[in-house]
Amino acid sequence: MALREILVVPHPVLKQVSKPVAVVDDALRALMDDMLETMYEAPGIGLAAVQIGVPQRVIVMDLARQEEPPQPRYYVNPEILWASEETAPYEEGCLSVPEIYDEVERPARVKLRYLNYQGEQIEEDAEGLFAVCIQHEMDHLEGVLFIDHLSRLKREQAIKKVKKGVKAA
Ligand code: NI
């Protein structure tokens, strides 16, 4: 496994639409292992492959609490089959938009279909933090960041702040 560099705004690759994965093989599992290690190191609870500069439809996630053992999750070619009309707000952040947090409103519950680490097709219902996180990560696959859900003013302020922070570091 290896740590990868996480791209931050306004890196143009973050705006790319990610391509479907053809086959879940050892090379893809190696990518997912690197993504997970990079996410834990950051630390974060979700990461899309495009955030490390690989525009493929792959997401890793771990929503376990600090005192719980790790619960890595892998989503390849995820699709949303259904989304509730009811929405819920949540204060989101993103490893590609460091230090910025703001409220985004999304469907409260979704039904997903995806391939797991072994390449098996899974259907799963998501609610709460899981629903927020999978929708946030799936946005990345379309080149959409959570700040794209905010007003233009807030988005521009966020990018400015990140640029300043990166320069200062
Ligand atoms: Ni993100």
Summarised one tens digit per residue, pLDDT across range 94-142 is 999 999 999 999 999 999 999 999 999 999 999 999 999 999 999 999 9
Domain that holds residue 92: 12-168
Task: Tell me, yes or no, if 137 is annotated catalytic.
Answer: yes
Helix (H) or strand (E) holding 8: none
Q: How confident is the model at residue 7 (pLDDT cuts 50, 70, 90)?
A: very high
Is 131 domain-assigned? yes
Positive or negative, the CA dihedral 41, 16, 63, 45 is positive
Helix and strand numbers (H, E) in the chain are 3, 7
Catalytic choice (86, 103, 120, 137): 137
pLDDT over 70 (residue 169): no
Token pair belonging to 78: 């995820």
CA of 152 to the centre of ligand 1 (A): 18
For the segment 153-169, the average pLDDT, to the nearest whole number, is: 89
Is 6 domain-assigned? no
CA of 48 to the centre of ligand 1 (A): 7
Is 102 domain-assigned? yes
Is 5 domain-assigned? no
In total, how many domains does the chain have? 1
Compute the half-sphere exposure of residue 86: CA atoms within 13 Å on the CB side of its CA: 7
What CATH code is carried by the domain that includes residue 112? Answer: 3.90.45.10
Q: Name the E strands within 8-72.
A: 46-48, 58-61
Q: DSSP label at 16? A: S
CA of 75 to the centre of ligand 1 (A): 15
